[in-house]
Homo-oligomer: A and B are copies of this chain.
Amino acid sequence: MARVVVDVMLKPEILDPQGKAVQGALPRLGFEGISDVRQGKRFELEVGEVTEARLAEVRTIAETLLSNPVIEDFEVHVEENAQ
C-alpha cells in the first residue's frame, strides 16, 4: 500500500483571507518573524501500487475533483514513508 499526496494551494495572485487571518493573529499572540501565511488543502490517497498509469489517474483526479484550476495549483507526490 502506497500513499500519494495531492497538495492544493491558491495561486499566488489569488487573495487568501484564511492565510491572512492567521498571519494577522501571529503578532498579537507574540510570534514575530513570519512574513506571510498561505492556507491550502492536503489530500492523502491510498493506492495499491504506484505506477505511471495510477499517477496519471491521480493527476486527473487532482485537476478535476480536488482543485479548481481557475484559482488553485496542485502538486502530486508519492510519500515514501507511508505507514
Contacts and interface: CB of A to CB of B under 8 A. Distances in A.
Interface residues of A, number: 34
A58 B68 CA distance: 29
A71 to B, nearest CB: 16
5 contacts: A9-B42, A33-B54, A37-B44, A39-B42, A39-B44
Interface of A: 1, 7-9, 19, 22, 25-26, 29, 31, 33-48, 54, 57-58, 60-61, 64-66
Given A38-B44, A40-B41, 9 more contacts: A8-B42, A9-B44, A22-B66, A26-B61, A29-B64, A33-B54, A36-B44, A37-B43, A42-B42
